[in-house]
Amino acid sequence: MLIERFDPLKGEMLRIMDEEGQIIAPDLKPDLSDERVLELYKVMLLTRAADTKALQLQRQGRMLTYAPNTGQEAAQTASAAALGENDWLVPAFRELGAWLMKGVSLETIYLYWYGNEWGSHFPENVRMLPISIPIGSQLNHAVGLAMASKYKGERDVALGYVGDGGTSIGDFSEALNFAGVFDAPVIFVIQNNQYAISVKRQIQTRAATLAQKAVAAGIPGILVDGNDLLAVYAAVSEAVERARAGQGPTLIEAYTYRLGAHTTSDDPTKYREDNEVVEWRAKDPVKRVKQYLIAQGLWSEEQDAAQSTEYEEYALEVFRKIEETGDPQVEDLFKYTYKEMPEHLEEQLSEYLQYLEGKVK
């Protein structure tokens, strides 16, 4: 068991693929065919292309504030890939690769960042909660979903994401404690991208690793190289198996890096040095999987360039469609919070509609 072999209290980190795409721990490599790795890599490429395009569109004033994902594609894609179709995915706000992997369309994702309420409306077969902006609040929801599955005698699990800064929020500790006490079939994935907005991870918590925060809750924790697609997949797959077998929750720290800004409202040059970013670019998760696939004879630089261009064009095409038809409707703000609209919202909506008709000022 990987979780037993790597002790976060000793700073031990699970790594299977190095920065050059070489397998350095073949005995730990998960049961994942190279063809499946290629499929996951294409999701990573789409994530990178869609992310880059969203950033460009926001800078052009065509999209609202956006949270970039570049540098974290492996942690997102691999973790979601380890889930079953009926398992729940409970996101924060920087899990683009996971959303795509789970089956949320890029059109829906772009609608959300465009400010349209329908960006939180997923198909019935996609078990994912809406994007959560309040830090850490989504983790208790993940525990609730997992416990509901357990009470109903199902074998579905829930996976909740949080950033490194979120581990200092009370909701994080409460969720871990509750999950541990009741053996909830839930996995917590910390995307440790080294910054809580502008605050370095080493400043916002004194813990040597974030994975060791599992110890206080009495649950297993493991530290993995978050830029290593295979390591993340292996760790999350094992955690899913544990949860499904009734062995309770697991905390996973994916050690990664946010290459871009916290959001498009942020200027990272004010709090970090350029040489730090350059150092982490060498650890790019997309680059290492590409090199691995090329070495296996399944991919080439020419295919990579063509696929990237195709995804960039696709992302722009999707957004143009949204610009033509996706203007947010203010009425939607009232309609989808409650199953039945309460009286005070009905009054507000009525007043707004009368305003549109010119009956009130």
Query: Tens of pLDDT along 119-132?
Result: 999 999 999 999 99
Regarding the domain delimited by 2-328, which CATH topology (the fold level of the hierarchy) does it fall under? Rossmann fold (3.40.50)
88-90 β-sheet, strand order: 13-14, 221-225, 250-255, 186-192, 158-163, 88-90
What pLDDT does 45 receive? 98
DSSP alpha helix (H) spans, 94-200: 96-102, 106-114, 138-151, 170-182
pLDDT of the residue at 331: 84
Q: For the chain, which residues score pLDDT lower than 50? A: none
| Active site amino acids | 258, 262, 271
Note the pLDDT of residue 107.
97
Q: Write down the pLDDT at residue 361.
A: 63
Secondary-structure percent of the chain, ordered helix, strand, coil, rounded to 5: 50, 10, 40
Taking alpha carbons only, the member of 178, 167, 232 closest to residue 204 is: 167
Domain ranges of the chain: 2-328, 329-361
Supply the pLDDT for residue 336: 79
pLDDT at res. 360: 65
pLDDT at 329: 79
In this prediction, residue 330 carries a pLDDT of 83
For 341, half-sphere exposure in the C-beta direction (CA atoms, 13 angstrom radius) is 14
Is the whole-model pTM more than 0.75? yes
